[in-house]
Structure 1
């Protein structure tokens, strides 16, 4: 399969992208290189290869969650630019209809 200008235009339309003529030429070349690379990968014999779930056999060494410093509700509000004594006050971001 080869990518041409029409294919790039269709993909750009679906992705809601504005692509000029120079960018279209670049994208045609880049997309064809990607497809050529994928074709080379398809030539590799993977019959006896198990699919990978993870790239390595390493296991994450996670530390235990330990509370190191506990602050009170009042201490948390001390640096708040806007607060009412109980809550942080922030700008309204969702309008009611």
Structure 2
């Protein structure tokens, strides 16, 4: 499976993914990108809770970087999709109020 095929499959899975109701997160955008000459993924999401400001985040990394964090014996697309949705679901502190925090690797 090529990195481009994996990338496009991840984009489709994340576009169709629905967070759990009580997580109070939303995927704003996900798309395949060219990053430093390689196939990559950009994932933007928003977190919030009742009575607090919305916190905005972006993860951008190459598919190669993402897959190198995985473990052998596991379907790479399943592992990567699970890791990306976990990154969206996990609470993250906002570094500067009103500023989108950008991650260059899984948070």
RCO greater where, 1 or 2, for CA within 8 Å and sep 6 or more? Answer: 2
Task: Give the TM-score, by structure 2 length.
Answer: 0.24
Report the structure number with the largest CA radius of gyration: 1
Whichever structure has more helix as a proportion of its residues is: 1
